[in-house]
Structure 1
């Protein structure tokens, strides 16, 4: 299956202000990017399952959320066989310095990026660049996903 950047970004974060910040950063880039923010993992899953929303090229997932945290969300994707059939770069978000989060990031095979909040324009643009590069490189048969932590 050909993997291409589809100009879609989604974010799952219980912090509505963080979602607004990312939405504004995307608008400031001037790029034609479709953005959808979700305040819970359940609302994102409902959109995928019920409404057939296509997977974004880049998915930001906050680690520390009530009800279902980011790591539990990833387990749900695996257990329910909901992993995307197209390339989606998954970026975990955290404002924590907890060493377990970095360890889990390094051990999780479906997570590509780790982003330390707060959002800074330059770091956000780096995330866009890295995710586009990862998808472009996935066309190569010898592609080996490289994990990247962004501060």
Structure 2
């Protein structure tokens, strides 16, 4: 049985969000290891390198410099189908825009959409994927 912490990729260009996620996950007592990516390109490179440990979950920011969340999804589609089937993605954004939410709903790679800031109900949703 594998007792290693569950790996979570957090892809967001806001360092404060990374800090908050680590703090909130820690307060939940979850056995997770967070790998932070401040730019989506690095996360794609990491996934493309076929890491030994796939993340159990990806938290993806929608609005980032250079490569945004939608660009990440486009690049993610180029990765192996096996990898894509195993790794759920939750998009996080401060956007309450209905068209963004609709686009998320129509994007098969995205499992859920949560708005920032995180709260207990959003943490429960995240936990359901771990």
Which of the five TM-score ranges fits, normalised by the shorter chain?
0.7 to 0.9
* Pairwise CA distance, 1:28: 1.3
Root-mean-square deviation (CA), in Å?
A: 1.9
Q: Distance in 2 between matches of 1:62 and 1:92?
A: 6
User: Which residues in structure 2 correspond to 1:1-150 (within 5 Å)?
Assistant: 7-50=6-49, 52=51, 54-78=53-77, 80-82=78-80, 84=83, 87-120=86-119, 122-132=120-130
- TM-aligned CA distance change 1:87 to 1:49, over 3 Å: closer
* Pairwise CA distance, 1:104: 0.7
| Aligned partners of 2:48 and 2:79 also within 8 Å | no
Q: Distance in 2 between matches of 1:28 and 1:17?
A: 16
Which ranges of 4 or more aligned residues in structure 1 deviate by more than 6 Å?
Answer: none
* Pairwise CA distance, 1:113: 0.9
Aligned to 1:140: none
Q: Distance in 2 between matches of 1:97 and 1:85?
A: 27
TM-score with structure 2 length normalisation?
A: 0.85
* Pairwise CA distance, 1:108: 0.6
TM-score with structure 1 length normalisation?
A: 0.74
* Pairwise CA distance, 1:55: 2.2
State the SS of the aligned residue for 2:36.
Answer: strand
Number of aligned residue pairs: give it.
125
State the SS of the aligned residue for 2:108.
Answer: coil
| Aligned partners of 1:93 and 1:115 also within 8 Å | yes
- TM-aligned CA distance change 1:110 to 1:54, over 3 Å: same
Q: Gapped runs of 5+ residues in structure 1?
A: 1-5, 133-151
